[in-house]
Each structure stands twice: as C-alpha cells, then as structure tokens.
Chains A and B, each alone.
Chain A
Amino acid sequence: MAVAQAKQDTLEARIAGLSFPNEGWQAPARFDALERLGAMGMPGRRDEYWRYTHPSSLTSPEPLPAPVFVDTAETMVFDAIDRLKLVFVDGVFDAEASDDLALSGVEIDLLSQAQSDIHWARDIYGVLEARGQTPVQRPLAALGTAFSTEGVLIRATAKAAKPIALVYVHKSDTSDVILHNCIRVEAGAEVTVLESGPAAARFTKVMEVDVAEGGRFHHIRAQGPDQDRRAATHIFARLAEEALFKSFTLTANGVMTRNEAVLELVGDDCVAHVAGAAVGDGMFHHDDTVFITHEGQRCESRQVFKKVLKNGATGVFQGKILVKPGAQKTDGYQISQSLLLDEDSQFLAKPELEIYADDVKCSHGSTSGAIDDTALFYLRSRGVPLKQAQSLMVLAFLAEAISEIEDEGIAEDIRQRLEDWLASHEH
C-alpha cells in the first residue's frame, strides 16, 4: 500500500506543473489516459519492468538540467538522405526550419493544429497506447497521451515519395518535452519515418503506428551522441494482415534512455522487426523493453538488440514474445547481445517467451562477452592496427542489427555515425 501511495505521490508531483489540454478531438482520449494514469501512478523501482532502470529521473517533477549539446560532426545524421524535414525545437514545431508539409502519398498534420472533429487520428490517438497497457503497465506512455500538445500525425495513403524526417532540436537546458506522434499506414501504402536529435533535457515520447492490410512501415531513429538527455520513448504498433513493420534505433551515448516497443501482430501473415544498436561510454544507461504479441497466424517477429558498453556503461534488455492461443505457425526470433569492452560495464537481460499455441517456432538468445582476442590477433597479424581492428570487431558485432535497415543509403549513414563514435571513443 505504501508503495502504491508513493507512486501516486510521484504522479501528483510530476503533473502538478503541467496544464491539461482539455479541448479538441483528443480530449476524450486524454481524459481516459489521465484516468489510467491515476490508477497506475508513476513507475516505481519495485515494478517488475523497472528493476534494472531507475525511473526517478524520468518521473521527477522537474527534469535534471541538460546542457545544450553542440554536435561537432561535419554532417548531421540523415542530412544526406532526400527527405521531408519536420523540426521540433524543445518540443515545439518550428515551421521556419521545416519543409512544407505536402508530400505525395501522405497527409501530414500537426497535433497542435489538427482540431477537426473527424480527424482519422482519433481512432489511434491513445487507443494503441491503452491497448499496450496490459499486461504490463506503462504510465509514462499514458502521461504522453494525456499531456502532449505537440507531435505529428502522418497518414500514408500510397507509397510516400520520400522519408519523413522528424528532427528534434534541443535549445533550453531545462526543457521537459512530452511529444506524441500518430501514424496510419493505409492498406498497401508505405512510408519511412526518420527520427533524430537530442530533443530536450527530458523527453517523454509516444509513437502510435497502425498498419493496415499489406501496409509497410519503416522507422529509423538515431539517438545521440548527446550525453545528458533523459528519454523515455514508446512505440505502440498494431499490424493487420500482411502488414510490415520495421524499426531500428541507433543509440550513441545518453545518461538515461528507455526505449519501449509494444507490437501487436493482429492480422495473419504480418512481419514485425525491431532492432537496436547501442554504444555507450561511461555514464550510460540504455534500456530496451520490448513486448511482442502474436495473435494472427503465420506471423514473423524479430528482435535484434546489440549493445557495446565501456567504462561502466549499463545496458538493459527486457524482451518478451507472447504467442496467443490460435497464433499457429508463429515464427519468433529474439537475440540480445552485449560486447563488454571492460570489466566495469554491465548488461542485464531478461528474455521471456510465453506461448499458448502448439505449432510455433520461437527462439531466443542472450550473450555477453569481450572482443575475441584470437580474431583481434588475426586482424593485427595482417597489419591492421589495434584500434582499427577493435573498431572493425565492434562494427562486426553490430552488423546484424544494422542489417535490419532495408534502405542501404540509410544503413550506410548509420554505419558512418558508429564509425565516428568509435573514432571519438577509442579504447
């Protein structure tokens, strides 16, 4: 009881300074979310899925200040990709810095401006998040539904002419941003969404993705290399028959990052892949928490998470595959691995499988290890200098996750960011 009270108290303190936006088509969803939130409270350390990640900096009334990060890289990630760019500065849409919202194959609206009562997003906003609250509670996502006034609403009706890039700029040391994006991929349509940038001192984000029959959704996200941000992000996705969902996240640095993905494979024959490559040095805490529910038949899901940790960095992976009764011929795969570059770093992994169908294929694996000395010697014996050999081995370790990116140009961009990171964090 005392624990529950503490969670309630934390919630009260957390939302005390926030103003509740109670108008517009989102209002009913927001009231529902507020009610859910009230029932749950904020996450506590004793919650099963918060054992390895201390939630306090994500739930405190004010964010810990984060100095604005000045990226010295010659080019920013995704700059070379032909894209439609939408810029949010400390969580507020910046029309000046953004491209025109018109793009062939998609309709783009801003959450701050879409007031029409018949908006399609009403069927998604807070709806997928609410579905994703059982069996595991995700209060920070409900917070996102209740309080966010900014974000983007993307509806793909055909194949989008180019990727839509959401760029999150951080300008205030104390910005506390809550953002909510909704994406609907109509039957047979296809869209790629890119996300990058430090966003805020504290970033609480929800992205709901509804993929209709035969729709295809690609998501590539780059977090970092800013160090001081604190982020709790959530993806809730629902897949109809023959839908495809692919999400990849690169995380470089970050004192606290919690990325949750909750995927529901509702239709038959759909495919959902979620992957991550994380590299951390020193004060780095990175948590991937994934929940995949197989409901349709003959669906495929893959989770590929790789973390490179050094100087006391911490990596967390909590991944679950739930196969519901009747979800026959499910093909589930889950791998989480860490490369520990020293003895001070740690990787905490909790793979879970829960299967109620009898004709399924599910595999999972989790490993932690150092760079293979024999392979390192082999490379050096061929003339490759030690540091270059180590970088080559690290990239090789991450390769399986990066190969989840379908677009080769984007994959190459991500690879380049990793090489830059390795060059600036030499062993």
Chain B
Amino acid sequence: MLEINNLHVKLEEEDKVILRGVDLKVEAGSVHAIMGPNGSGKSTLSYVLAGRDGYTVTEGSAKLEGAELLEMEPEERAAAGLFLAFQYPVEIPGVGNMTFLRTAMNAQRKARGQDELSAGDFLKLVREKAKALKIDADMMKRPVNVGFSGGEKKRNEILQMAMLEPRMCILDETDSGLDVDAMKLVSDGVNALRDAGRAFLVITHYQRLLDHIHPDVVHIMANGRIVKTGGPELALEVEKNGYADILSEVV
C-alpha cells in the first residue's frame, strides 16, 4: 500500500534536517503504529506524505500503491486515497462543515472520474456516519471545527475519513486531547473502517490508543529514522520503560 524508501526531508526555511532516511512499508489490511519521543520527526513524516508546504525532500521516495506521492499536489494525493487525520484540525470560519464535506467528497469523485453524489444520497450517508460518531446535526451546520471542543474536532476528522473512504489513513496523534470516552468513540470509528483493502499508520505518543486500535506492527522513530520495528509488545515496552532503553540499545 505505502512504501517509503530512504526519505530525507529538511525544513525549507531553516535548512534544518528532520527526516534522515525513513524506510517504511505498510501492507494493505494492516495497522502500523509509529511511536517516538518529541521531535523525532513523526508529524513531519505525516505532513510530508500529505503534501504540506514548507518541507524540502532531498532524497528518497514515498509511493502509494506504486504511484509517487511526492510528485503530487495535496488534492491529488487525497484523490489517490491518502488521508491525514490532523493532530490539530483546522478551523475554517465561514465554511459550513456540511458544505466542506460535500465539496471534498465530490471533488475526489470528480478526480476519479465518478459522478457527483446527489444531495439526498450525501445527506443520508453523512447522517448515518455522523450518528455512529455521536456528531449531532448542529455540529454539521457549524463552520468547520469552529467552536468545536478538542474531542469534537477529532471525531470530525474520523467522520471525514469515514465519508471519504481513503485507502491509506494516517492518524497524527489523534489521541491527544481526548478523554477516555472520546478515545473509545474515535477508536471504534477507526476500527469500523478496518478492511482488507485499507491500511492505517497511527502516530502516537502513548500505548493507550493502541489498546483500542490494535496494531500489527509497531515502529519506533528517533532522530528522523525508524530505529526499531516489532510487534505490539514493542509499544508495551515503551509504556513500561520509556524510550531511553530502546534508544540506547539502537545507538
């Protein structure tokens, strides 16, 4: 599904190197988790994959089902099936949540050569998906993420994911700012989307999210590289002993 080879990235303005040769392969149907200390490059990886400005790729490649992501515009990546659930979902005053979702959905369908979804079909679909995430009609009417609580914003991300049905989902610290109940709700939303044709890359600081979304593979990232890869037990080890042991082992 996703294949990243020797990815090197620096900040455009500061000339500061963030990623120093990331190698990662995520197979369809699997859930991979990336853990790592602050500043290890986890969020940068997610932004670079989604196509945010401000980063320069100096070396390497990132392919989604064989197609080079790094050469695509952000909207092309989305149409190709990539989705990033933001760590900090963006507020857009003046743009209604429903309009936003429908515009996004139809833009992706258009890019893929599909017909636009009718207003009726769209409404039916969004109501059904929103209900499962306990997102009420009022939230849908409000401008995108404006006045939403932290938990509401994250649920809104998962709603977008559920509606857009991407093939490769990247969740950037989706657990941050969530209480126990919200975490359960968000995780259930993610788990409902697990499918043989879909893959997940879950970026997190903590094991607790992985109690709800069980990963097949866990990677530890440090200093711009994947330094260790293992099974779910690796996350438990981090939870218990912190990163220090693993990092000293690697170095």
Contact = CB atoms under 8 A, between A and B. Distances in A.
Interface in B35-78: 50-53, 73-75, 77-78
Nearest to A396: B94
Contact of A383 (B90, B93, B111): B111
Interface string B110-133: 010000000000000000000000
Contact of A377 (B52, B83, B100, B105): B52
Interface residue range, chain B? 20 to 34
Contacts of A6: none
A378 B104 CA distance: 11
Interface string B89-113: 1111111000110011101100100
Interface string A363-407: 000000000111101111111111011001101111110000000
A395 B74 contact: no
Contact of A382 (B91, B94, B143, B160): B160
Contacts of B169: none
Contact of B93 (A374, A380, A396): A396
Nearest to B77: A381
Interface residues of A, number: 24
Given A380-B73, A383-B164, A375 B104 contact: no
B164 A375 contact: no
B53 A377 contact: yes
B86 interface: yes
Nearest to B103: A384
B146 to A, nearest CB: 10
Interface in B128-181: 143, 160, 164
A378 B86 contact: yes
Nearest to A398: B94
Given A383-B78, A384-B75, A386-B73, A378 B111 contact: no
A8 B174 CA distance: 70
A383 B75 contact: yes
B220 interface: no
A380 B92 contact: no
Nearest to A385: B75
Given A377-B74, A380-B51, A381-B74, A388 B93 contact: no
Contact of A375 (B75, B92, B99): B92
B107 A383 contact: yes
Contact of B164 (A373, A374, A382, A393): A382
A384 to B, nearest CB: 5
B79 interface: yes
Given A373-B53, A383-B104, A385-B107, A378 B78 contact: no
Contacts of B111: 383, 385
A381 B95 contact: no
A384 B93 contact: no
Nearest to B163: A382
B94 A379 contact: no
B84 interface: yes
Contacts of B83: 381
Given A385-B107, A392-B103, A380 B74 contact: yes
Nearest to B99: A392
Contact of B104 (A374, A384, A397): A384
B204 to A, nearest CB: 20
Contacts of B93: 396
A374 B104 CA distance: 16
B92 A382 contact: no
A14 to B, nearest CB: 43
Contacts of A382: 78, 100, 104, 107-108, 160, 164
Contacts of B103: 384, 388, 392
B107 A400 contact: no
B87 to A, nearest CB: 12
Contacts of A388: 103, 107
Contacts of B160: 382
6 smallest beta-carbon distances between A and B, as pairs: A396-B94, A383-B78, A383-B108, A382-B104, A380-B74, A378-B90
Interface of A: 372-375, 377-386, 388-389, 392-393, 395-400
Given A384-B75, A397-B94, 20 more contacts: A375-B90, A377-B53, A377-B74, A378-B86, A380-B78, A381-B52, A381-B77, A381-B84, A382-B104, A382-B164, A383-B79, A383-B104, A383-B105, A383-B164, A384-B103, A385-B107, A388-B107, A392-B100, A396-B92, A396-B93
26 contacts: A374-B90, A375-B90, A375-B91, A377-B51, A377-B53, A378-B86, A378-B90, A380-B73, A380-B78, A381-B74, A381-B84, A382-B107, A382-B108, A383-B105, A383-B108, A384-B107, A385-B73, A385-B75, A386-B73, A388-B103, A389-B75, A392-B103, A396-B92, A396-B95, A398-B94, A399-B94
Interface of B: 50-53, 73-75, 77-79, 83-84, 86, 89-95, 99-100, 103-105, 107-108, 111, 143, 160, 164
